[in-house]
Amino acid sequence: MKTIKEHSIIKVNRFLKMLSVLSLYLFLSSCGSTNNAVYFNEPTNLIIGGKEANLEPIIQSNDLLSIMVSSVNPEAAELFNVSSGDVEQTTNSGNISRVSGYLVDQEGFINFPILGKIEASGKTKKAVRDDITSLLVNKKLLLEPIVDIRYLNYKVSILGEVKNPSVYNVPSEKISLLEALGMAGDITIFGRRDNITLIREENGIKRTHRIDLTTNEIFDSPYYYLQSNDIIYVQPNGAKVASATGTKDWIPVILSAISLAIITVINLK
């Protein structure tokens, strides 16, 4: 027949086993699922739509444009190749450089030589190019003018749980979300790939969009390709939050203290 102390020890052992299971559960739940650390968990035998997306961005206030004019008379065209001023910008290497171009003002206009103010905000580069070309021809200022427009401050911001969060310039004026994340050194192991936030300004209103990179939905998403001034934010996962708050580190300490207290009480009986 077991003594009272033996019965108490059996109960303590059962309790300790329960604490071990609880500790293991809390640890695994804080670490999260490995599926959330992998891109595109769905079957990958896909055919991505062959139709090229319309990537022509819309010009907005504070955009900096390079506008070059050429024609059969190079000397006459030189009059239209005087920029409106210099602007400082940070390169991807972290250096600061000065670039010359036409800054779209708060009213949405650029101040172009001889032609004066030309509306640019809310239009595509092609639309502004056609406007300038028509003015040059109609005013008989140039013969067969060719107008080339490029962005000088096409950039995206990548923040949160990536290796190198920063603002990145995009000289090609075309970049996908996956390319941007690669430029930032990829998402860290502590980043949530299933809940990425894209912030985009549309018609003067900032809107947020949720993107899940653990599925294949990004390939059919209108946000696969980024636009100038887009902001990407990668949220931290549960493991990072637990590590930051110290919750996970305190769990073993608390469980050990409880176990020690119970054993001490039993031994005193």
Pick the CATH number of 64-151 from 3.30.1950.10, 3.30.930.10, 3.50.30.50, 3.40.190.10: 3.30.1950.10
pLDDT of residue 204: 75
Angle, CA 137 vertex, CA 135 and CA 139 arms, to 5°: 65
Count of CB atoms situated within 10 Å of the CB of 185: 13
Please state, in angstroms and rounded to a whole number, the distance separating the CA atoms of residues 258 and 269. Answer: 17
pLDDT number for residue 257 = 59
Residue 207 pLDDT: 92
Question: Per DSSP, what are the bridge partners of residue 206?
Answer: 201
Question: Residue 42 has what pLDDT?
Answer: 63
Taking the chain (269 residues) in runs of 10, the rounded mean pLDDT of each run is 58 59 54 60 58 71 91 90 64 62 92 94 94 95 93 93 94 92 95 94 86 89 91 86 57 60 55
Q: What residue type is 165 in one-letter code?
A: P
Domain spans of the chain, in order of start:
4-30+243-268, 34-51+154-236, 64-151
**pLDDT given for residue 212 in this prediction:** 93
Q: Output the six-digit token pair for 28.
A: 């695994």
- pLDDT value at residue 39: 73
Q: What is the pLDDT of residue 202?
A: 77
Q: Which of 164, 166, 157, 134 is nearest to 147 (CA)?
A: 134
Counting Cα atoms < 13 Å in the Cβ hemisphere of 213 gives 23
Q: Residues of 228-242 as b/e, b for ≥16 C-beta within 10 angstroms?
A: bbbbbbbbbbbbbeb
CATH, domain range 34-51+154-236: 3.10.560.10
pLDDT of res. 133? 96
> What are the Cα distances from residue 40, in Å, to 29, 46, 57, 212?
22, 11, 28, 9
Determine the pLDDT at residue 218: 87
